């Protein structure tokens, strides 16, 4: 019996080895040249420690995490906290014809993200509603053209790249413990409008858009399992930004799902 089994193994093994040796190249993912663009949600702000000076880039940001867990031939971490569509000129210099993958989160600062959050935390209900309404108006009127120019520039600088636009989550858990119901609702409604605008312009540009809202549901600031930092005067720059779990469990899977 042993001799017969040995003969069968010897007969099958060469063919099996041939399959193993010849198929990996067909299935292995080729290393990519990856460039991460955008604002603080792309730079990893909210999950220290930081590099990059005032750009607040974090090794815990989703971009660095993706580069760490995938085959990359190069990775350029150009995203910078505080970036707007108008201030991205320097970031675009990281793109070239060899870029394979671009990720970007942008638009929140164009409509006054930081000032709106501070107003809603420190001001009255009416001042919060007015700030959100102002941001919504900017999102619907001025932001679309700015996003169009941004996506067009990326396309022109990196014509062969897969471009993934990551959206923003609703910031505050609807039944959370911070702010009040009026302010929480206003902020989350503003996030919905921002989603609609970014999604529409990404579709018009022919780039991939990923809606972050459903995945972050249940993990907003001031909830039981927050992926977003609550407001803190001692950590002002990190307020209402994803924490380490928000990038690792929130944004990283979203980027993975978009890239495949």
Q: Could you write out the three-class secondary structure of the chain?
A: CHHHHHHHHHHHHHHHHHHHHHCHHHHCCCCEEEEEEECHHHHCCCCCCCECHHHCECCCCHHHHHHHCCCEEEEEECCCCCCCHHHCHHHHCCCCCCCCEEEEECCCHHHCHHHHHHHHHHCCHHHHHHHHHHHHHHHHHCHHHHHHHHHHHHHHHCCCCEEEEECCCCCECCCCCCCCHHHHHHHHHHHHHHHHHHHHHHHHHCCEEECCHHHHCCCCECCCCCCECCCCCCCHHHCCCECHHHHHHHHHHHHHHHHC
Q: Is the peptide bond before 49 cis (omega within 30 degrees of 0)?
A: yes
CA-to-CA separations, 253 to 107, 177, 215, 246, 249, in angstroms, rounded? 21, 27, 9, 10, 6
Active site residue 27: no
Catalytically annotated residue among 27, 40, 156, 215: 40
Nearest residue to 129 (alpha-carbon basis) of 180, 186, 175: 186
CA distance 161 to 30: 14
241 is catalytic: yes
Catalytic residue among 70, 87, 241, 257: 241
Active-site annotation, residues: 40, 241
């Amino acid at each position: 019996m042993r001799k017969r089994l040995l003969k069968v193994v010897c007969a099958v093994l060469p063919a099996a080895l041939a399959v193993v040796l010849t198929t990996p190249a067909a299935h292995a993912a080729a290393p990519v040249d990856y460039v991460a663009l955008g604002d603080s949600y792309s730079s990893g702000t909210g999950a220290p420690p930081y590099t990059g000076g005032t750009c607040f880039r974090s090794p815990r940001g989703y971009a660095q995490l993706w580069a760490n867990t995938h085959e990359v031939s190069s990775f350029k971490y150009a995203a910078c906290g505080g970036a707007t569509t108008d201030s991205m000129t320097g970031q675009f210099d990281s793109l070239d014809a060899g870029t394979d993958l671009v990720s970007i989160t942008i638009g929140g600062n164009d409509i006054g993200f930081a000032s709106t959050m501070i107003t809603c935390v420190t001001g009255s209900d009416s001042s919060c509603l007015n700030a959100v309404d102002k941001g919504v108006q900017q999102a619907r009127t001025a932001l679309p053209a700015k996003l169009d120019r941004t996506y067009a520039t990326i396309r022109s600088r990196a014509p062969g790249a897969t471009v993934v636009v990551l959206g923003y989550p609703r910031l505050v858990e609807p039944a959370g413990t911070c702010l009040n119901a009026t302010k929480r609702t206003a902020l989350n409604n503003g996030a919905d409008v921002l989603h609609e605008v970014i999604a529409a312009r990404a579709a018009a540009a022919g780039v991939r858009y990923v809606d972050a809202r459903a995945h972050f549901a249940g993990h907003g600031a001031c909830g039981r399992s927050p992926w977003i930092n609550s407001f803190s005067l001692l950590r002002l720059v990190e307020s209402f930004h994803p924490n380490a779990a928000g990038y690792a469990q929130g944004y990283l899977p979203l980027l993975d799902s978009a890239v495949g």
